[in-house]
C-alpha cells in the first residue's frame, strides 16, 4: 500500500465578525453537547488479530480515520463511524451522534470509545453532504479541499469541530453561524473543555496548554481574522483575542505558524503533492512575531517544515507546474523550528507516517525513468525520524507503521523496510 501523504499522517499512536464577540464559553443550549462512554466498541471493531508483521483489526461497519495528513500539530489515530444519509438533512447532524474510537497502537485493542452529540464536522466524513447547504463552513471546506484543522491533536489533547448551525433559519450570513469545538484528553477520552465560536472557523491548533481557534467574518482572515486562545487548564477561563490578517497553517510546541497563504489545497490531500511555496511567520499565541521563514514548501507535525535552499527557484518551479510540483529535485532542508535541527532532503520525498510511538517522518528517494506515457516515478524507503523536536539524525532501521485499508475496513500495523520500494 502506498504511503500517500493523505493517509500517512492519519495514524500515529491511537486509532479510531465582531472582534471580541467571536467566541463564547459554551453552548447557548440551542444545540447542547453531550459525550458518553461507548463501552468496549465491540459493535464496531472485531478483536485484534496478531499477524506476522504486527496486528490487524477489522471493523464491523464502515469506520473512517478522523484525521487526514495535513495536520497542524501532531497526529492522532482516531476513528469515527460513518452513517448513511437521512431523508431530511436539515437537522440530522445536530441530533445524531458520532462514535469516536481510540485504539492502542501496541496491539490494536480499544483504548476508549465515546459517543458525541452533535456529530463531528469535516468534509471527508460529510455524511449528509448537500450541495445546496447554506452553512458557510460547508462552503469553506469545499474550497479548502483539506480538513486537517477540523481535527488536531498532540500528546495530551485532541480538539475537533462539531456540526455547525445557523442562529437564523435559512440564513447564509457568516455572522449567524455557530460551532462547538470539543477538547478531549488523549489518554482517557475524557472531556477537557467544550467551547462555542461564532463566525467562520478558519483553523485551529494546540499549543502548550491552549487551544487556538482562528475565526473570521469572511472566507479569509484579511480584515476580520481573530486568534481566540482558550486555556485547557482552566475550562472556565475567558478566551483572549488577537487580530490577524494571516492564515493559521501550523504550530510548534510553543508557537503558531502564520502565512499570507492558506495551505488548504497544497498539503498532500491529493496524495503526493503538489507543494506550495510560502513565507511563514512564527508567533506567540498572543500574536507577537518571533521570526520569519521564507521558501517553506511543506508543514509537518511538531514544528517540522521543509524549506527550499533557494526560495526564488522554488517559487519559479511551483509556478511553472502548479498541479504537480513536488520540488523534490530542488535543494531542500527538513528543519525543526524549535530545535534548529536541519537535514538535507534534496532528491527525497518526506512522508508523514504513524508509528506506535507517535508521528514519524519517512524519507523516500525519488527516481523517475522514461518519458511521456512510459514515465515512471518510484519511491524507495531510505531513512526516517521521529517527528519530535529532539530528533537529530535520520535512522535506517526498519519501522512499524500503523495504517488503514479502507476497502477492507481494516486497521493494521506492519513493518516498513528501509531500502524497499514503497508500493
Extents of the domains making up the chain: 5-416
Chain-centroid distance of CA 380 in Å reads: 25
Which residue, among 21, 85, 68, 142, has the nearest Cα to 404 in the 3D structure? Answer: 68
Burial call 94-113: b when 16+ CB within 10 Å, e when fewer: beebbbbbbbbbbebbbbbb
Predicted confidence at residue 3, as pLDDT, reads 40
What pLDDT is stored for residue 268 in this prediction?
Answer: 38
What is the SS3 assignment for 4?
coil
Q: What's the confidence (pLDDT) of residue 122?
A: 58
Q: What is the pTM (predicted TM-score) of this model?
A: 0.84
pLDDT at position 142 is 63
pLDDT at 213: 96
CA-wise closest residue to 402 among 48, 32, 154: 48
Pairing of strands 210-216, 226-231: antiparallel
Identify which of 28, 57, 25 has the alpha carbon closest to the alpha carbon of residue 44. 57
**Using CA atoms, how far apart are residues 91 and 162, in angstroms rounded to an integer?**
13
Map residue 417 onto helix, strand or coil: coil
The pLDDT assigned to 4 comes to: 38
Q: Which of the 8 DSSP states describes residue 28? A: -
| Cβ partners under 8 Å of residue 304, min gap 6 | 334, 335, 336, 337, 361, 387
Task: Output the tens digit of pLDDT for each of the chain's 423 residues.
Answer: 434 333 333 333 333 322 223 333 334 445 789 999 998 888 888 999 999 989 999 887 666 665 543 333 344 567 776 554 555 555 556 667 788 888 888 888 998 999 998 877 754 444 444 556 678 887 776 655 444 567 888 888 999 888 888 888 888 899 999 999 999 999 899 999 999 999 999 999 999 899 999 999 999 999 999 999 999 999 999 999 999 999 998 899 899 999 998 865 444 333 455 567 889 999 999 889 999 999 998 888 889 999 999 998 888 887 777 665 567 888 999 999 999 999 999 999 999 888 888 889 999 999 988 888 888 889 999 999 999 989 999 999 999 998 887 665 788 899 999 999 987
Amino acid at each position: 500500500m502506498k504511503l500517500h501523504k493523505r493517509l500517512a499522517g492519519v495514524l500515529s499512536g491511537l486509532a479510531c465578525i465582531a472582534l471580541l464577540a467571536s467566541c463564547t464559553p459554551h453552548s447557548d443550549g440551542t444545540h447542547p453537547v453531550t459525550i458518553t462512554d461507548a463501552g468496549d466498541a465491540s459493535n464496531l471493531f472485531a478483536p485484534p488479530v496478531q499477524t506476522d508483521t504486527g496486528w490487524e483489526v477489522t471493523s464491523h461497519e464502515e469506520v473512517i480515520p478522523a484525521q487526514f495528513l495535513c495536520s497542524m500539530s501532531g497526529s492522532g489515530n482516531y476513528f469515527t463511524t460513518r452513517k448513511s444519509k437521512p431523508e431530511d438533512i436539515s437537522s440530522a447532524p445536530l441530533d445524531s451522534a458520532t462514535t469516536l474510537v481510540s485504539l492502542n497502537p501496541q496491539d490494536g485493542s480499544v483504548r476508549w470509545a465515546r459517543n458525541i452529540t452533535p456529530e463531528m464536522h469535516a468534509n471527508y466524513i460529510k455524511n449528509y453532504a448537500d450541495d445546496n447547504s447554506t452553512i458557510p463552513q460547508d462552503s469553506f471546506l469545499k474550497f479548502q479541499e483539506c480538513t486537517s484543522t477540523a481535527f488536531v491533536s498532540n500528546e495530551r489533547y485532541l480538539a475537533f469541530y462539531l456540526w455547525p448551525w445557523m442562529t437564523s433559519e435559512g440564513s447564509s450570513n457568516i455572522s449567524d453561524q455557530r460551532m462547538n469545538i470539543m477538547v478531549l484528553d488523549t489518554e482517557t477520552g475524557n472531556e477537557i473543555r467544550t467551547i462555542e465560536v461564532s463566525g467562520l472557523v478558519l483553523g485551529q491548533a494546540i499549543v502548550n496548554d491552549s487551544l487556538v481557534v482562528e475565526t473570521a467574518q469572511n472566507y479569509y482572515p484579511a480584515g476580520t481574522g481573530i486568534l481566540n486562545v482558550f486555556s485547557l487548564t482552566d475550562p472556565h477561563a475567558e478566551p483572549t483575542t488577537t487580530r490577524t490578517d494571516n492564515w493559521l497553517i501550523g504550530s510548534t510546541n510553543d508557537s503558531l505558524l502564520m502565512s499570507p497563504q492558506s495551505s488548504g489545497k497544497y498539503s498532500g490531500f491529493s496524495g503526493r503533492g503538489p507543494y506550495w511555496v510560502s513565507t511563514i511567520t512564527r508567533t506567540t499565541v498572543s500574536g507577537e512575531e518571533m521570526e520569519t521563514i521564507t521558501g517553506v514548501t511543506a508543514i509537518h507535525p511538531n514544528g517540522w517544515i521543509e524549506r527550499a535552499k533557494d526560495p526564488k527557484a522554488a517559487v519559479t518551479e511551483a509556478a511553472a507546474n502548479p498541479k504537480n510540483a513536488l520540488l523534490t529535485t530542488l535543494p531542500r532542508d527538513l528543519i525543526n523550528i524549535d530545535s534548529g535541527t536541519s537535514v538535507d532532503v534534496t532528491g527525497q520525498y518526506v512522508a508523514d507516517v504513524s508509528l506506535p510511538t507517535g508521528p514519524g517522518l519517512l524519507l523516500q528517494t525519488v527516481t523517475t525513468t522514461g518519458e511521456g506515457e512510459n514515465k515512471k516515478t518510484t519511491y524507495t524507503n531510505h531513512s526516517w525520524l521521529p517527528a519530535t523536536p529532539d530528533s537529530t539524525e535520520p535512522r535506517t532501521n526498519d519501522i512499524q507503521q500503523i495504517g488503514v485499508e479502507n476497502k477492507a475496513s481494516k486497521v493494521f500495523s506492519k513493518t516498513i523496510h528501509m531500502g524497499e520500494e514503497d508500493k
